[in-house]
Homo-oligomer: A and B are copies of this chain.
Amino acid sequence: MINWDEQERLAEELLTRLFPICRSITGNGLRESLAIIQEYTEFNLVEYPSGTQCFDWQIPDEWNISDAWIKDSSGREIVSFRKNNLHVMGYSEPFHKRLSFDELRPHLHSLPSLPDAIPYRTSYYSRNWGFCLTDRQLGQLDQSDTFEVFIDATLAPGSLSLLESIIGPPESNEYLVSTYCCHPSMANDNLSGVVLTTLLHRLMNQSLKLNKSYRFLILPETIGAIAYLAHHESIMRQSSGGFVVTTCAGPGPFGFKTTFQGNHLIDRVIRQTMREYTVEPVEYPFAPDGSDERQYSSPGFRIPVASITRDKYYEYSFYHTSLDDLSFVTPQNLVSTLRLYWSCIQKLEKESTFRSLNPNGEVQLGRRGLYPQTGGALKQSAAGEGDKIEDGTSDVLTPRQADPVDAITWFLFLADGEHSLLSMAERSGVPFDQLYSIALELEKQGLCSAN
């Protein structure tokens, strides 16, 4: 059994350590973050040099930043990178000059709708510089003043960094678990995804004899996924599907963004898991927006990938702002999503098909002690209904169980060599794990065999 409290403790620790670092799609902040992740579980660091052609894209120069600020004519720092790394637009080029307000204004970004939030902005592929500040700060600038603008950054050939780990037996179906770690100090988007992926990998690597193979990737969004696909074109085309982990620890409702295919094994596994935990997620039909599903599911690959979210990107007002901080997410919420992913992985691991060895009529369960001896009474209702996950709270999740006689009866009725455990669960309402336990027990008793 997994110690979920321990997972919450680790989640909190990782969130706290990783949050302050200024990450981007390349650079030392990214590298530093990946190194911290490697302290917790085994990943390989991969670096692709700047300038490498990857399909329609090129790995850009590496961006590193030491400091940046805007001072008014009195020398007072008005905006400072050291206070919040969101203040500098990602990939801002080096700059140092005194400017009038009118010259400065086009380089300032704020959010009138959230006057106390610093927005998150980038300019990866178009040389530019900029500062992001709260709308309140912007309003307080003296438009007749002049401003000294300083960005101590470098844009130079280097490399793009990412983490990769393949676990499980090499011959089996391979699934993908991918997340992006290019965002600076924001918690739900996407530190939560990075931490969940780290913990999921750690749990699988430690505690499971795996039946299937899993490719874990922690990489910069878009260019990282494209670079990785370009370097693993043939193997990735054979991927059986997987998950893009993102925005999974907010206080809002669970969400489920489906695969491009819509009713793939990946979708069915997620829907079944949600049913078992009596979670009713907001379902988001696939769209080619969001994250790296845009790359993995592109026409050349069509890998079916889905996401389980908690406050999905685009859907919460603090999205891509400084208000998406450590007070917005909780380790408990993160682990509640981790448990759903864990349950999905369990299903991928155990999915298989069984055949009853007494297919003609019912098996006489009574003489095997699997049926009540006295007949005629109404069967009891299901023992436990499971704990419902209340949205916005951190619960101990318990999947509901079906009545044991119902469960075994359904299993044997459907054990025709055609229904997999997942299709049995979908048809019968009996939880997947309960069916799996029955399968093991009945196999031991010589009543069924794997197909």
Contact = CB atoms under 8 A, between A and B. Distances in A.
Contacts of A90: 375-376
A394 interface: no
B57 A360 contact: no
Nearest to A428: B287
A75 interface: no
Nearest to A91: B375
B89 A377 contact: no
Contacts of A121: 374-377
A288 interface: yes
Interface string A335-377: 0000000000000000000001011111110110000011111
Interface residues of A, number: 63
A226 interface: yes
Interface stretch (A44-52, A211-219, A241-249, A405-413): A405-413
Residues of A contacting B: mostly: loop
A415 B298 CA distance: 10
A378 interface: yes
Contact of A360 (B124, B126, B229, B358): B229
A152 interface: no
A146 interface: no
A172 interface: no
A222 interface: yes
Interface string A282-310: 00000111000011011111100000000
A367 B289 contact: no
A441 to B, nearest CB: 17
A407 to B, nearest CB: 11
30 contacts: A55-B360, A56-B363, A90-B375, A119-B376, A121-B374, A121-B377, A122-B376, A124-B375, A126-B374, A128-B373, A128-B374, A225-B361, A226-B360, A226-B361, A230-B361, A233-B360, A287-B428, A288-B410, A288-B412, A288-B413, A289-B406, A294-B362, A294-B409, A298-B360, A298-B361, A298-B413, A299-B356, A299-B415, A299-B416, A301-B361
